[in-house]
Homo-oligomer: A and B are copies of this chain.
Amino acid sequence: MRVNKDTWLKRKKSFWHRMWEDLEIGYLDKDLLPLLIVLNIEQGIHTMSSCSGRIVASDSRSPWSRESDSTIIFKKHTPVKPEEILELYKIPVYRKIWLNVTGPIIHLSTMDLATAIKILRIARLSGYKHSGIISLNSDKGVVLELTTGVYMSTPLRTRSKDIVKPEETPGLVELVNNILYEGKKRLTKLYMELKKALPWRPDEEIVEYIEKHGIRVHEKSPIEVFEELSSNLRDNHNN
């Protein structure tokens, strides 16, 4: 399989610009930025839709249900508060209420297989044990998904019963926030390892963009950005 270089480069440009738009409209978790920037500085890599790890409550048939079988009640990339969990006991249950925590999921495309294999090795060494090449395509390149095993998925309520009683909220919140934090630590580990290795061939256009816009967020680690986000939320909440 040969990747169509022109198409791939156009896609890189478009994903790069979309990333900054997504950040502006709040679609992008800011703590992903350091990692995404480090990856994009490499010529043969562009990132795609990714997640820094999050807490999601849904009313769904099963935790993996999508669309018609599932309604998202809330989604957060920062620690959850007991009040937010307690809200889940005040609403009617249509299917089941689930509380899910997922670790980071990074999607990226490489221009060739050799780069994909190198990234896969670094990911594996950084604890991303469920990573792989999910597709190969002449236009889209070699697409990788990097994931950890950091995950929790608990049924809180069925239509007839509470599986986890609301009284258990404090213990549950502690658990959930710890798992979220564990995910952010893995994000930081991957960032550190990639920063040591990359770029093999710097992408001059990306480097120029970063300089021109005075971007410096990738000098911080994901966990530093996460902690800033979390404390901003706390401050807003206390005001």
Contacts and interface: CB of A to CB of B under 8 A. Distances in A.
Interface of A: 1, 62-64, 96, 113, 117, 120, 130-136, 144-145, 147-155, 158, 160-165, 168, 171-172, 175, 179, 182
B120 A135 contact: yes
User: Which secondary structure dominates chain A's binding surface?
Assistant: mixed
Nearest to A174: B158
Nearest to A135: B120
A153 B162 CA distance: 17
A134 B132 contact: yes
A155 B152 contact: yes
Nearest to A144: B132
Given A135-B120, A152-B153, A152-B155, A172 B163 contact: yes
B151 A153 contact: yes
Contact of A153 (B154, B161, B172): B154
A162 B96 CA distance: 21
A62 B153 CA distance: 12
17 contacts: A62-B150, A62-B182, A63-B151, A63-B152, A64-B149, A113-B113, A120-B134, A131-B132, A131-B134, A132-B132, A151-B153, A155-B172, A161-B171, A163-B168, A163-B172, A163-B175, A165-B165
